[in-house]
Chains A and B, each alone.
Chain A
Amino acid sequence: MAVLPYILRRLLATLVVVVLSSFLVFGALRLAPGDPAIMLLGDFATEETLARTRRELGLDRPFVVQYFLFLKRVVRGDLGTSMQYRSPVPDLVFPAFKATLYLALPSLVLSSAIGILAGGLAAAKLRTWVDHLVSFLVVLGIATPGFWLAILLVVLFALRLRWLPSSGYGLGANLVLPVIALTIEQLALTSQIMKGSMSDVLLERYIQTAHAKGLSNGRVLWGHALRNSLIPVVTVVALRFGALLGGAVTIEVVFGWPGLGRLVVAAALARDYPIVIAGALLLSVAFVGANLMADIVYGYVDPRIRHAQQNA
Chain B
Amino acid sequence: MRSRTRSSFGRKLVRRYVGGLVGGLILAVLLLLVVVLPLIRTVDPFRQDLGRVLEFPSAEHPFGTDEFGRDVLSRVAAGGRVSLLTATLATALGVAFGIPLGLASGLFGGLTDSMIMRAMDVMLAFPSILLAILLVTVIGSGILNTALAIGLSTIPHFARLIRGSTLQVTTADYVGAARSIGCGNLRIAVTHVLPNISTPIVIQSTFTLARAILRAGSLGFLGLGVQPPTPEWGALIAAGRNNIQDGWHNVLFAGLALSLAVVGINMVGDAIRLAVEPRHR
Residues of A within 8 A of B (CB): 17-18, 20-21, 24-25, 28-29, 31-33, 139-140, 142-145, 147-148, 151-152, 154-155, 159, 242-243, 245-247, 249-250, 253-254, 264-265, 268-269, 271, 276, 280, 283-284, 287-288, 291
Give every chain B residue within 8 A of A250 (Cβ-Cβ).
Answer: 218, 221-222
**B224-267 contact mask (Cβ, 8 Å, vs A): 1 or 0:** 10000000001001001100110010011001001110110011
Q: Is there contact, CB below 8 Å, between A287 and B138?
A: no
**13 residue pairs bridging A and B, Cβ less than 8 Å apart:** A29-B137, A139-B263, A139-B267, A143-B210, A145-B218, A148-B237, A148-B255, A152-B252, A246-B128, A247-B129, A250-B221, A253-B221, A268-B134
Task: State in angstroms the CA–CA spacing of A152 and B128 once bound together.
Answer: 25
Task: State in angstroms the CA–CA spacing of A144 and B210 once bound together.
Answer: 11
Report if B214 contacts A (CB, 8 A).
yes
Q: Is there contact, CB below 8 Å, between A147 and B221?
A: yes
> Nearest-CB distance from A29 to chain B (Å)?
7
Task: State in angstroms the CA–CA spacing of A54 and B221 once bound together.
Answer: 34
Task: State in angstroms the CA–CA spacing of A247 and B127 once bound together.
Answer: 10
Given pairs A142-B210, A148-B255, A154-B244, 19 additional interface contacts (CB within 8 A): A18-B125, A21-B122, A28-B135, A28-B138, A31-B138, A143-B214, A145-B218, A148-B217, A151-B241, A152-B255, A246-B128, A254-B241, A265-B133, A265-B222, A268-B136, A268-B137, A268-B224, A269-B223, A283-B127
Q: Is there contact, CB below 8 Å, between B138 and A142?
A: no
Report if B183 contacts A (CB, 8 A).
no
Task: State in angstroms the CA–CA spacing of A11 and B230 once bound together.
Answer: 46
Task: State in angstroms the CA–CA spacing of A228 and B237 once bound together.
Answer: 42
Task: State in angstroms the CA–CA spacing of A249 and B223 once bound together.
Answer: 12
Report if B140 contacts A (CB, 8 A).
yes
Give every chain B residue within 8 A of A265 (Cβ-Cβ).
Answer: 133, 222-224
Most A CB within 10 A of own CB, among B224, B240, B251: B251
Report if B44 contacts A (CB, 8 A).
no
Q: Is there contact, CB below 8 Å, between B244 and A145?
A: no
- Asked whether A151 and B259 contact (CB < 8 A) given A17-B122, A32-B138, A264-B133, the answer is no
> Nearest-CB distance from A140 to chain B (Å)?
7
> Nearest-CB distance from B195 to chain A (Å)?
28
* 8 A-B pairs with the lowest CB-CB distances in the bound complex, closest first: A242-B127, A246-B129, A148-B255, A143-B262, A268-B137, A143-B263, A32-B138, A246-B127
Report if B277 contacts A (CB, 8 A).
no
Give every chain A residue within 8 A of B244 (Cβ-Cβ).
Answer: 151, 154-155, 159
> Nearest-CB distance from B97 to chain A (Å)?
16
Chain B residue nearest to A277 in the complex (CB): B134
Give every chain B residue within 8 A of A245 (Cβ-Cβ).
Answer: 127
Give every chain B residue within 8 A of A159 (Cβ-Cβ).
Answer: 244-245
Q: Is there contact, CB below 8 Å, between B122 and A276?
A: no
Task: State in angstroms the CA–CA spacing of A100 and B89 once bound together.
Answer: 32
Task: State in angstroms the CA–CA spacing of A188 and B121 once bound together.
Answer: 25
Report if B130 contacts A (CB, 8 A).
yes
Report if B126 contacts A (CB, 8 A).
yes
Task: State in angstroms the CA–CA spacing of A64 and B38 once bound together.
Answer: 53
